Amino acid sequence: MNQPQPVLRVPLGRDLLGFTRLLRRLEIRHRVVEEGDSQVLWVLDSARAEEARSLYERYPDGDPQGQLQSTQRRRGLGLLAQLKASPVSAAVLLVTLLVGLATELGDNLAVIQYLTLQPLRLVDADHLAFLDLGVSLAQGEWWRLVTPIFLHFGILHLAMNALWYWELGRRVEFRQGGLMLLLLTLVFAVGSNLAQYAWSGPALFGGLSGVLYGLLGHCWLFQWLAPNPAYRMPRGVVAMMLIWLVICLTGVFGVLGFGAIANGAHVGGLVLGCLSGLLGGGLARLRPR
């Protein structure tokens, strides 16, 4: 069931009349309420909350020239608006998809070897040999600190990580901008990859999940210190992700034969995300509204 969702918080002096007229024309049900020294725009259908956020990015004063002609095309417009409003999120997912195709989702070691944290070679059908990380970095292969996040092993692994990155990445991009999302993605990538290396030693691993836990921790603690609509997630999301982390740490999936989980990357990403959320939220709280 769809629930009302806050999507914007702006100063009382900001004129939202033009934008609310646009929302009415696009049949996006909404309400504006005053909370302290701010106006909060609530969208009554949570399924259209992201569309409203994206529209505000493009048309904060409404659409007096009638550029958005037809409400019949609102779904296509919503997707287009989201892509334009979240270019960094879209770009990261595009690279992830292209790498997934190139690596055949984990089956093409000839390509994978250039993207792993450590260079590797195939010894036989069941064994891989990993070369020294320090040597590869000394040879200028610094990209290896980041590129494991683009490796995925199976369609479900890719799909789940892509969906969560689209959800969390757009929130960061909307609230703090694309450059901040790119910076956080790179920091969480390097940190979670190195954390996994310290956790398990030489091993073949990959995926966006370390970055996802970083973004989750960032949004969680930023929202705790400086509440804002973009980082307000449905109840239970943070709890679910943390419970999932604990279950993975038990090793049950390895025992059941589902393969190893990159627990080091998850924990490392979450710790870095919590630190960045504390820093960013603390600075936002000190900033005058």
So which residues are the catalytic ones?
A: 209, 266
Write the DSSP string, 121-151. Answer: EEEETTEEEE--HHHHHHTT-GGGGTGGGG-
CA dihedral over 116, 218, 88, 42, signed as positive or negative:
positive
Burial 239-258 (b: 16+ CB within 10 A, else e): eebeeebeebeeeeeeeeee
Calculate the alpha carbon distances from 176 to 33, 89, 171, 172, 210 in Å: 23, 13, 8, 6, 20
What is the C-alpha radius of gyration for the chain, rounded to an integer number of angstroms? 21
